[in-house]
Amino acid sequence: MDDDSLIKSASSELAKVDRSAIEARITDAARLGIVALFAYWSLTMIAPFAIIIIWAVILAVALYPAFQALNTALGKRPRLAAIAITLASLAIIAGPLAAVVFSFAEGAQALFNRLNEGSVLVPTPAESVRGWPLVGERVYAAWSLAASNLEDALKRLEPSLLQVTSRALTKIAAIGLDLLSFVVSVIVAGFLFGPGARLAEIMQGLARRMASDRGVGFVRLATATIRNVARGVIGVAVLQALLGALVLRAFDAPFPGVIAFLILVLCIVQIGPILVLLPVVIWAWAGMEADAATLFTLLLAPLVVIDNVMKPVLVARGLSTPTIVILIGVLGGTLSHGLIGLFLGPIVLSVFYELLMVWMRADARVAETRPELDPAGKPERL
């Protein structure tokens, strides 16, 4: 066989190899395209329920240890245990909400009755109000009008009041929809308790497929973070709200349900109860005797101490991630994504922190195994 024949034969073989490689790449691209299309299509169908599903998963993970304990106590009856956990969760949600609604209703009814009777008295403003920057004169004029003729003042402010009321009703409607979706999430979470072990195995298998054993570690880290945040943030906030409601009820403070609900919300979003407790303490010292006001203040003071002592301990319990990283994730996630960011924030930061530590440790190991250079720039013999 001459050289030309060899060249033609080699060229033919290379063309076949190139053609088969191109066909394989086209086939892989088509498969990836089909998978991506179905993934996108599935996400568009799930998107309207994404928040409900995420909340349901978070609640199922957080409450699964309680489900396991109750299931064991009931003699291995998972359905009964799931129903009990779901009903208890709904009661915990519905209880404070009912207290808030009734407190608002009582306050609004009392205000309307006093307005109808004409017994609402507005005190005369002090002359110092005029000195307030920018708005002093306007506030003083409106306040004086309300003090002398409240009915006329309400008529003049009716357009502004209607606008404010409309915005408030819009916000209340949005909050109502969020609460309704959360209630649905609690119910969906009840259906996840039974197959929880199998779902956990599926998630770990997927994580192992994506990142081997380290992926399983990240799934376990996310699970532990959810449970720690639930105990350290929401659990402590619920405890503070319950204790605050008991103290307020014992001393006949006005609107104890509303104040307790505000304490719960402020503690969950990491602001703390001091913004609510300080006006209440001022009210107590203004209207109570010194002994009663002192006892009232001393009973409310532990609410602030609980927030600063128990939360860091419970949040970081059993985790290698530093407490400051988790707390920053809790606060930043809440500010960025609302209440659901309370859990997503620390999970994302914890996983990123662990990835960063793995990368740094790997870089350190490479540096240790690399041969050192002598002053002349040549590697030393080991």
How far is the C-alpha of 343 from the C-alpha of 234, rounded, in Å?
A: 10
- In a domain, residue 338? The reply is yes
pLDDT of residue 118: 58
- In a domain, residue 56? The reply is no
pLDDT of residue 169: 66
- In a domain, residue 259? The reply is yes
Contact criterion met (CB below 8 Å) for 129 and 139: yes
Query: In a 3-state reduction of DSSP, which class is residue 373?
Result: strand
pLDDT in tens, 179-201: 777 788 888 888 888 888 888 88
How far is the C-alpha of 322 from the C-alpha of 349, rounded, in Å?
A: 11
DSSP state of 270: T
User: What residue numbers bound the domain in which 279 lies?
Assistant: 213-361
- In a domain, residue 248? The reply is yes
- Number of domains into which the chain is organized: 1
Mean pLDDT of 33-61: 85
- In a domain, residue 152? The reply is no
How far is the C-alpha of 315 from the C-alpha of 330, rounded, in Å?
A: 10
Q: Quickly count: other Cβ atoms within 10 Å of residue 127's Cβ.
A: 8
Model pTM score: 0.65
- In a domain, residue 377? The reply is no
- In degrees, rounded to 5, the angle at the alpha carbon of residue 348 between the alpha carbons of residues 343 and 353 is 130
Mean pLDDT of 58-71: 88
Q: How far is CA 354 from CA 177, 258, 301, 348, in A?
A: 36, 41, 37, 10
- In a domain, residue 260? The reply is yes
Name the token pair of 286.
């203004």
- In a domain, residue 188? The reply is no
